[in-house]
Amino acid sequence: MLLPELPSYLSSLGGAEYKGLIIALFTITAGISRPFSGKLTDKIGRIPIMAVGSLVCFVCGFLYPILTSVAGFLFLRLIHGFSTGFKPTATAAYVADLVPSTRWGEAMGIHGLAFSTGMAIGPAIGSAITLYYSIDILFYCSSLFALLSIVILFNMKETLATKEPFKWTFMTINKSEIINKQAMPVFWVTLFSYVSYGALITLVPDWSGHIGIENKGLFFMVFTIASLLMRFIAGKVSDQYGRKPVLRVSIILLCIALTWLATWQTTMGFITGSIIYGMATGMFSPAISAWAIDLSDDDKRGKSVATMYIALEAGIGLGAFFAGWFFRDIITRVPLVFYGAAFCNFLALIYLWTYMKKERKAI
C-alpha cells in the first residue's frame, strides 16, 4: 500500500535527494535482523516471530503521520525494515513444516500467491486512498491491515516440534549463525536477481508519471497479477523437473522484461514489460524458496530461509540505493538504470549456469 506513494511523500517533506534511501534503509534493518529471526524461528517457534514482524508494521503506520521531518521519516523506514526481517522468514519455515518435501515448490507457489495478491491489491488501493483522502489515512489503513494479520496469527497452531523458551542468549549471533553455507548457491542467485527489484520500486512511481500513467500503483498491480498466474504452475513444475531449470528460464525473462521497460517508453510498452516481469517473478520466487529449503537440514530451515532473505534484502537495498543515487530526479537516466539492472540478472544467469555445470561434473 505504501510503496508507490513514498517517493512523492518524501519529496513533499523536502527530501527528494534521499529517495534511494526509502528502500535502502528498510532493507538494512531487514537484512541485519535475518540471522536473529532465522535463529529464533528454529528455537522458540514460527508464530511468535511472525507476530513480531506484524507488530512492527502496526506501530510504524501510526508513527509516520507524527514524525513528519525528513530525518523522522528515514528513521521510521529504518525501523520498519524489522517487519520484513522477521515475518517472511518464519512464514516460509511454517509453510515448509506443513507439507511433504515433494510438494515444497507447489507450497511456496501458494505462499507466494498470497504475497502477490497483497502486492497486487495494496499499491492500487494505496494510491486511491491517497488520491481521494490523504497520505495520513493511508498510513493508518496500513496499520489496520497489520492488526488483522496479528489477529489471524492468534488462531494458528505452532508447527515447531521442539520449542524452547526465549532466552536472551538467543540474541547473540556468532559468525556461523549468520549464513547457512548449505544455501550459498541460493544466496548468490537471489542477490544478483533482486537488484532489479530494488531499482524498479524506487524509480517506477516517477517513471509512471513521465509516461503519463496517473495511478502510480499500476505497475505493481499488473506485474503481481501476472505473477499470480505463474506461481501455481511454476511451483509444480519445479517439483517435477527441478528448481534450477525453472530459475534459468525465469532469469532470462527478467532480463527481457527490464530491457523492454527501458526500450519501449509508452503506456503499452510499460504494461507489457510489467507483465513479463511479473511472469518471471512468479516463476522465480517459489523455485528459489523451495531450493533454499532443499539444500538445508531439517533443523536449519529457518536459517536457510533467512540466508535467502539476507541476499534478497541486500539485492533490493543495493538496487534502490544506486538507482536513487544515479537518478536524482533526472528522468532520462531511468532507462540506463533498467539496462544496468538487466545486466545484474545476466550475472545471476552466468552464476547459475556455472553452478549447474560444476554439479554435472561432480556427478
Cα–Cα distance, 344 to 209 (Å, whole number): 26
Lowest-confidence pick of 53-57, 230-234, 250-254: 230-234
Return the H-helix or E-strand segment holding 277: helix 267-294
So what's the pLDDT on residue 362? 67
Best-predicted range by mean pLDDT among 46-55, 178-187, 194-203, 319-328?
46-55
DSSP letter string, 171-204: G---HHHH--GGGHHHHHHHHHHHHHHHHHHHHH
Q: What whole-number percentage of the chain has pLDDT above 90?
A: 35
Q: Please, which pLDDT band fits residue 18 given cuts at 50, 70 and 90? A: confident
Residue 85: pLDDT above 80?
yes
Other C-beta atoms within 10 Å of 285: how many?
26
Name the more confident of 332 and 363: 332
Give the pLDDT mean for 102-121.
79
Q: Which cell numbers hold the place of 319? A: 538496487
Tell me whether residue 351 is exposed, middle or buried, using C-beta atoms within 10 angstroms of its C-beta: 0 to 12, 13 to 18, 19 or more. middle
Closest CA to 64 of 119, 138, 117: 138
178-235 tens-digit pLDDT = 778 888 999 999 999 999 998 988 888 888 888 888 777 778 778 878 888 787 788 8
- Show Cβ contacts of residue 155 under 8 Å, excluding neighbours closer than 6 positions: none
Lowest-confidence pick of 110-124, 149-163, 326-340: 110-124
So what's the pLDDT on residue 358? 82
Q: What whole-number percentage of the chain has pLDDT above 70?
A: 99
So what's the pLDDT on residue 363? 59
Name the more confident of 191 and 20: 191
Angstrom CA distances, 322 to 18, 24, 125, stand at: 11, 9, 28
Cα–Cα distance, 225 to 210 (Å, whole number): 23
- Show Cβ contacts of residue 158 under 8 Å, excluding neighbours closer than 6 positions: 45, 46, 47
Q: Please, which pLDDT band fits residue 240 given cuts at 50, 70 and 90? A: confident
DSSP letter string, 293-335: HHTS-GGGHHHHHHHHHHHHHHHHHHHHHHHHHHHTT-GGGHH
Mean pLDDT of the chain: 87
So what's the pLDDT on residue 189? 95
Q: Please, which pLDDT band fits residue 136 given cuts at 50, 70 and 90? A: very high
Q: Please, which pLDDT band fits residue 116 given cuts at 50, 70 and 90? A: confident
Q: Please, which pLDDT band fits residue 272 given cuts at 50, 70 and 90? A: very high
160: helix, coil or strand? Answer: coil
Query: What is the rounded (10 degree) CA torsion for 285, 121, 11, 30?
Result: -40
Residue 299: pLDDT above 80?
no
- Length of the chain counted residue by residue: 363
Using an 8 Å Cβ cutoff, are 208 and 270 in contact? yes
Q: Please, which pLDDT band fits residue 71 given cuts at 50, 70 and 90? A: very high
Give the pLDDT mean for 293-309.
80
Angstrom CA distances, 343 to 193, 283, 312, 326, stand at: 10, 19, 17, 16
Using an 8 Å Cβ cutoff, are 216 and 125 in contact? no
Give the gyration radius of the chain's Cα atoms: 19
330-342 tens-digit pLDDT = 888 889 999 999 9
Give the pLDDT mean for 345-355.
94
Name the more confident of 343 and 300: 343
Residue 99: pLDDT above 80?
yes
Q: Which cell numbers hold the place of 249? A: 528460464
* Exposure class string for 13-31: b at 16+ Cβ within 10 A, else e: bebeebbbbbbbbbbbbbb
| Identity of the amino acid at 305 | V
Q: Please, which pLDDT band fits residue 302 given cuts at 50, 70 and 90? A: confident
So what's the pLDDT on residue 204? 85
